[in-house]
Structure 1
């Protein structure tokens, strides 16, 4: 099985990976949509000659694909047993009869890997793969959850990045018409042994009914079971496309506290997936952690659940989940805690007197949080807001939520950029005035505020209010060269820590002497660059990765430069997450300060390369927007 990639590491793209998948003897058997999803999700891993690619239990937990170069399989004594060529697959129990325990690079190589759960899903979709790969270890198909101490195989909830939703559909959907009686629907669900059914009208998805609806909306409410199910159904439910990664389904469930999602192929109903299809009920799995959050009725209960976020990040780090995915998962939990606090606040204070939208700013808005995060948020109120009549209510609600977040580990913003601060809890017309002033008179304070409040995402409430505000802001910034020049100057205050000869420059004094601030010296400069591209292009994307993709598509930056920045961001954020995970495991509070001695020589070289990419593109923007 050989199919090498005729390229160097820097030029590998999802398109070329897809071509390699298409031409591979075994992996080419996968459906086109599945190959496309894998090409986007696979992470390319480089190794130098002599470097160990894998060993121990992890060797059996993953299927490896050698893309470039030569490697050798090792026995238990570390001796070479068999040489591998580009295109070969190894790991996951292959070669057990030879006592294979690991692999080592013979030349510079590029490789990637798929976890066992993903391979199991691929086997279910394409049984012919077993001819080439045999059976995946653990015939039951179950993969144990990761231990909170960082050992053991990876958590199934974390192995969905490259599994397509279609691979999780276990049976034909149970469908009913809207006129079906509640009694008949319950009988069908019982006979079919399902916890939900789809309501279909003229072959189109109309609604969804679950066991919970029968309990809460019928039995508990004393409703006549002869009434039609349309009376108790969730109409126009959230759905997901059959070709989407299963990871997207996990996020959808975690963010919206739902456990049943219809799967569509265009407009056609393809099936239904549930939370149990995605992951076992582990306390640190994102879907169930979010579900626990919405069950809490007190702040003390929320605090207890929020305490599991650090363990969740440890699980993600142990599974070597990408930083991009980790940020989305951890942020989804923050969103859930915020929404639940708002619900509890409204239950205590009564319904809001006018519409509002609670808005996340900063890393939460960008879905880039880690276990070490403070809070940045604000409130946009309807223009019907009157301070005399409504001020006390919203002051009390925002204070309750911000103090609740602080109690749950999301500490108060040192700069008080929170909704509990009067200045950041204003009607929409006032926010319009803020942005008009900041973009029209870009003094230093205005630039800082723009950096914080341009990264906004609605969490709870009247979401369209924020959409309209953001469109107005983008209209003001697009092509505004004077404002953008000031933004670039502000961004250049965060310089990568490279010395005169491009060596790493650590902090010289103080508490963190001898370390590198991965956040402010590495991640923040990339975030700043991506924000400027978005401001200049009028792009509504908020996540940094998405902004870089949009910037490349719009021509603001080359495809190669955008890819370099995305790779640099992923590497720096991944190092930060692994560093924080080690601190959590040692019982210390996580921070952003990495001692270069913690990482290998190879990683230090990559770190310098990542900083060099950032410095180079900062220089390009400085030339483009010279004052």
Structure 2
């Protein structure tokens, strides 16, 4: 049993203060105070001093003997001798949760409380050089408080932002009377309502651009200048849904409904007052840019936004949607600038996002996957040069803003992926009916599609044709399963996590390709089998469970695993960004606590089990 003492004739710390650079320049009065507050401990060899997860509970100074710090999961260890320190402040932040301390020999240690060290570093800032994790930890409470407030704001129901009953009038009201009503109530918009039904929206911008600029007769009915195709949001929806709608569609006024009843309006002013770094504010800034250089300056804020969401403990599902909404806004603005430079397009088209952007699952570390679906009236001789230049400008613009060119050239700037709808239909028909290795690889990209800008009907009709080809097509689905099984969770024979052994990131886990991609692949197969058109992985799993392609329990397990892995990746990237590093997907186990490692094994186990289930279900279809 260890023995503890708090007094000594000649205090054991006295000699340490004189020899260690962290302490030798402190005032004698301060050192005497520390000696009085230190807890001394004498232990025998093999005594566990601090178990895994407890290392951050206090600062230890080795007075005599040797102590071993060890990560039992990774098999890593270091030895500490006389005069060396461990624990809170001294041990790097990423190792505090995962390492444990054991006495190698009979030892004597002195322990200081974290609060004492924090106070000391505040009074003597030079000490932070020796205690780097004190600075990291002491900065967390304020950051977390601010971030938690931001999370509460984006999670709160939209109805909390409604400040007054809606200002409405009938569609036959004159334009002049409408302007007078807006002035009287001090509002920037009014809603057109008839027989309880929302019919349109008029803003002060409409009055300026459609009436004053065109010298329009103000006695005309206001319905003539109203926006009729409206986005709306339900009152009990979280605020982040309103943020997404406004950011994605570049709108500044959003009617709020309670069921079918109109209860009010939220505006970008409401939202940005509540959350200055909101995606709607960032998207608004994006749309105001007139040059590529201006857009480039804004992209750094995407990493900042992701960090704030991670600090606020926002879930990966919401974060993915919010980060992707910014990519959408950036893409649309680049498209608008390209059209300004080249002139209006000669025929209808649809710019389509593929991969993680299509699934609303992007992070601050993303490349670009996109394509262009052209109207079937496309003629290469007449229209080819325009769309070649157009797609090159947009893709190069995205690359300049940090969304690197797809290594596999799956982009609209590549001739193959810039085709009329009829050619895309031929592509999918060939991929489904002749599922060769390259075809299966392409389906993993191009079965996840979402229209970003242009004529959405070009994709919707194509999607329905594709789902008709894949629904119940066991031969094709069997090949898809075989291809998906190339991405396996990194679990060894006995359920231990296996780390990469070579490459640029040895001794890490590739969270994307070893963790998230296998779940994305499973959800895609379930969705194709069920004829589900959703692209988001969470949504695919839920809808596929409703269709009977996967059990409700298995779908929940996969969604939980995806959420856990997604949050690990976001937190890992946020830490890298905070340290001035480029974010990536390669996680070292040292970053995780023992509890998180246990959860990681469980998540990988869920994926591994359901891969085997799907493999057996379609085993006969491959022969």
Report what 2:424 is aligned to. Answer: 431
2:537 corresponds to 1:544: yes
- 1:498-554 residue CA offsets vs partner (Å, 9 max, x unmatched): 112111111112321111000000000000000000111111010000000011111
User: Aligned partners of 1:216, 1:319: CA distance in 2, in Å?
Assistant: 40
Contact 2:153 2:274 in 1 (8 A): no
Report what 1:461 is aligned to. Answer: 454
User: Aligned partners of 2:144, 2:319: CA distance in 1, in Å?
Assistant: 18
User: Aligned partners of 2:422, 2:143: CA distance in 1, in Å?
Assistant: 49
2:368 corresponds to 1:375: yes
2:510 corresponds to 1:553: no
Aligned runs of 1:5-404 on 2, under 5 Å?
150=143, 152-154=145-147, 158-160=151-153, 162-280=155-273, 284-404=277-397
Contact 1:147 1:315 in 2 (8 A): no
User: Aligned partners of 1:620, 1:280: CA distance in 2, in Å?
Assistant: 50
Report what 1:623 is aligned to. Answer: 616
Structure 2: any 5+ residue segments left out of the alignment?
1-51, 58-138
- 1:383-427 residue CA offsets vs partner (Å, 9 max, x unmatched): 000001000000010000000000111000000000000000000
Report what 1:563 is aligned to. Answer: 556
Q: Shift of the alpha carbon at 1:321?
A: 0.6
User: Aligned partners of 2:141, 2:373: CA distance in 1, in Å?
Assistant: 39
Report what 1:39 is aligned to. Answer: none
2:434 corresponds to 1:441: yes
Q: Shift of the alpha carbon at 1:298?
A: 1.0
User: Aligned partners of 2:214, 2:298: CA distance in 1, in Å?
Assistant: 30
- 1:154-201 residue CA offsets vs partner (Å, 9 max, x unmatched): 276643564222333221110122232333222222221222111122
Q: Shift of the alpha carbon at 1:51?
A: 8.8
- 1:312-368 residue CA offsets vs partner (Å, 9 max, x unmatched): 111111111100000000000000111111111111111111111000000000000
Higher mean displacement: 215-224 or 580-589: 215-224
Higher mean displacement: 485-494 or 178-187: 178-187
Contact 1:262 1:272 in 2 (8 A): yes
Contact 2:148 2:313 in 1 (8 A): no
User: Aligned partners of 2:503, 2:405: CA distance in 1, in Å?
Assistant: 24
Q: Shift of the alpha carbon at 1:281?
A: 6.9
Change in CA separation of 1:303 and 1:148 when aligned onto 2, cut-off 3 Å: farther
User: Aligned partners of 2:406, 2:545: CA distance in 1, in Å?
Assistant: 33
User: Aligned partners of 1:198, 1:608: CA distance in 2, in Å?
Assistant: 53
Change in CA separation of 1:147 and 1:381 when aligned onto 2, cut-off 3 Å: farther
2:445 corresponds to 1:452: yes
Contact 1:358 1:460 in 2 (8 A): yes
User: Aligned partners of 2:148, 2:268: CA distance in 1, in Å?
Assistant: 14
- 1:256-280 residue CA offsets vs partner (Å, 9 max, x unmatched): 1111111223433222122233342
Q: Shift of the alpha carbon at 1:152?
A: 4.1
- RMSD of equivalent CA atoms: 2.2
Report what 1:530 is aligned to. Answer: 523
Report what 2:411 is aligned to. Answer: 418
What secondary structure does 1:308 align onto?
A: helix
- 1:288-314 residue CA offsets vs partner (Å, 9 max, x unmatched): 101111111111111112221111111
* Bigger RCO of structures 1 and 2 (CA < 8 A, at least 6 apart): 2
Change in CA separation of 1:588 and 1:51 when aligned onto 2, cut-off 3 Å: closer
- 1:236-256 residue CA offsets vs partner (Å, 9 max, x unmatched): 322122333322211111101
Change in CA separation of 1:602 and 1:169 when aligned onto 2, cut-off 3 Å: same
Report what 1:8 is aligned to. Answer: none
Q: In the comparison of the two structures, how many residue pairs are matched?
A: 487
Q: Shift of the alpha carbon at 1:617?
A: 0.4
Structure 1: any 5+ residue segments left out of the alignment?
1-49, 56-145
User: Aligned partners of 1:527, 1:222: CA distance in 2, in Å?
Assistant: 54
User: Aligned partners of 2:416, 2:194: CA distance in 1, in Å?
Assistant: 49
Change in CA separation of 1:516 and 1:51 when aligned onto 2, cut-off 3 Å: closer
Q: Shift of the alpha carbon at 1:555?
A: 1.2
User: Aligned partners of 1:282, 1:246: CA distance in 2, in Å?
Assistant: 10
User: Aligned partners of 1:416, 1:302: CA distance in 2, in Å?
Assistant: 23
Contact 1:357 1:459 in 2 (8 A): yes
User: Aligned partners of 1:390, 1:51: CA distance in 2, in Å?
Assistant: 64
Change in CA separation of 1:156 and 1:279 when aligned onto 2, cut-off 3 Å: farther
Contact 1:359 1:457 in 2 (8 A): yes
Residue among 394, 407, 427 paired with 2:400: 407
- 1:425-464 residue CA offsets vs partner (Å, 9 max, x unmatched): 0000000000011000111000000010000000000001
Contact 2:53 2:594 in 1 (8 A): no
TM-score normalised by structure 1 residue count: 0.75
Residue among 518, 527, 543 paired with 2:511: 518
What secondary structure does 2:273 align onto?
A: coil
Contact 2:520 2:537 in 1 (8 A): yes
TM-score normalised by structure 2 residue count: 0.75
Residue among 543, 567, 583 paired with 2:576: 583
